[in-house]
Structure 1
Amino acid sequence: MLRRSYNVGQGLAPDGTLDVGLVFCCSQPDVARQFATVRKRLEGGRFADFSTTTGGGYFLALPGVADASDWYGSALLDP
């Protein structure tokens, strides 16, 4: 799994607290075996008290094109 995090800071929120966060991005071939397993392992841990997930999503990348007769996603449909 390749992973990277980015710090985000928007200054002060209207209530006077810091509006900061962390954006976590990762890339892996098997979401269930890699990212979901790590996420489940972190649930209920000491870090959970300091972390709130406010959004997320999975974005899939299709395999590339090998030649002129190939097309995006063909590897997903060929037996």
Structure 2
Amino acid sequence: MEHAPILVHRISPTGGRRVVIRIRGVDTVLGVAFSDADLIEFLRRIEIPEPDELVLGDSEVIAWQGGRPHQYEEDDE
């Protein structure tokens, strides 16, 4: 797959990650996820099959931009 259709953007300064899905060349913001549960819920609402397996598994359908996958807040340093 050239580009993952679901993009989880880098962590915002206030926490959370913007989630975008690309369908037929159109980007749609699904919301800001503060946990994997939020991300799973966004995907469930748009009727993505087995969203928990996509999020928690090693899926090429989701691209995590900046930071580690499944991380929603910056590390305290």
TM-score relative to the length of structure 2 = 0.28
Asked which structure has the greater RCO (Cα within 8 Å, sep 6+), the reply is 2
Q: Whose strand fraction is larger, Structure 1's or Structure 2's?
A: 2
Q: Highest Rg: 1 or 2?
A: 1
- State the TM-score, normalized to the length of structure 1: 0.28
